[in-house]
Amino acid sequence: MNICITAAIAIALFGAPMAAMADSPAKQVKSKMGKTIDDLGMTPLSFASANGEKLNYRQAVLGSDAPGDYALLLFLHGAGERGDDNISQLINNFPDIMSYCRKSKMKIVVLAPQCPDGMQWVNTPWSAKSHTIPEKPSMPLGMALELVDAKINEYNVDRSRIYITGISMGGYGTWDAVCRRPDFFAGALALCGGADLECAPRLKDMPIRFFHGRNDTIVPVSRSRDMAKALEAAGSKKFEYVELDCGHFAWCIVYRDAKNLEWLFSQKKK
């Protein structure tokens, strides 16, 4: 774990090693996690909205033979994984999530959409100390939520067990999604992102655990500290904020700790 933190800070400050940058996304998944794309069992697909816009995504449907209804997880990647290869979004510790779901023998639909180049899950500067939630979600986030709605109907998903998590740019996306749909998700894990503080009262009853590295040089740690204060002021008893002794790459720690995923999937809407 200490190696992960050290490497994360070095990459955040100085950039990825040249050899790693030269590798294809598929090779990066293999070198970072010891898994191949095929090992993850994520089918490459594309989702088309009603107005013809398209969003690439990966999907896994686990536990089809198990009794009961499916749960659903939406994973939102960070800025460095944007593109159109439909692979890069799986690089940064996403395999830890898949490993947990398989070992736990979950019956779950896992969705990992890929934000296109030049776009964001939330249209706000990441270095800003605050932002106001846009009137409408960005095109990629809006389509990701449409995708979730479609999969709920396709797989008869248990609406009391819909989850979301995201890292960095995806942390912003996670906050944005739960603010827009405070009664929709059973629980959320938000990593090194930021939210509109005015949305805190909407999230009073939302189980959310969020994390930030105190040495983050990319997204100010004040974004999470301020949201923790806002949630407390709103009277929330269902949030937990954890500040980690690391830089920006908090996901190296969070997703490798099974207790965080255990907490997330234990949440259930009443």
The CATH number covering residue 42 comes to: 3.40.50.1820
Provide the 3-class DSSP secondary structure of residue 55.
strand
CB 218 within 8 A of CB 126: yes
Looking at residue 133, its amino acid is I
| Cα–Cα distance, 193 to 122 (Å, whole number) | 10
By CB atoms closer than 10 A (0-12, 13-18, 19+), residue 127 is exposed
Distance in angstroms between the alpha carbons of the first and the last residue of the chain = 36
Q: What is the tally of structural domains in the chain?
A: 1
Q: What is the pLDDT of residue 93?
A: 86
For 131, phi then psi, to 5°, come to: -155, 160
> What domain range includes position 206?
2-266
> In this structure, what token pair is assigned to residue 170?
């995806």
| Cα–Cα distance, 175 to 142 (Å, whole number) | 13
Dihedral (CA of 106, 152, 112, 209) sign: negative
Phi/psi-derived region of residue 169, left when phi > 0, alpha when psi is between -120 and 50, beta in every other case = alpha
Phi/psi-derived region of residue 52, left when phi > 0, alpha when psi is between -120 and 50, beta in every other case = left
| Cα–Cα distance, 172 to 196 (Å, whole number) | 10
Question: How far is residue 221 from each of residues 23, 49, 250, measured CA to CA in Å?
Answer: 31, 35, 11
Q: What is the pLDDT of residue 34?
A: 55
pTM of the predicted protein model: 0.88
Torsion (CA) 117, 142, 236, 194 in degrees, nearest 10: 20
- pLDDT tens for the chain, 270 residues: list them: 222 333 333 333 323 333 334 455 555 555 455 556 677 889 999 999 888 899 999 999 999 999 999 999 999 999 999 999 999 999 888 999 999 999 999 999 999 999 999 999 999 998 899 999 999 999 999 999 999 999 999 999 999 999 999 999 999 999 999 999 999 999 999 999 999 999 999 999 999 999 999 999 999 999 999 999 999 999 999 999 999 999 999 999 999 999 999 999 999 998
Looking at residue 191, its amino acid is L
DSSP class of residue 235? T
Which residue matches tokens 């960070």? 78
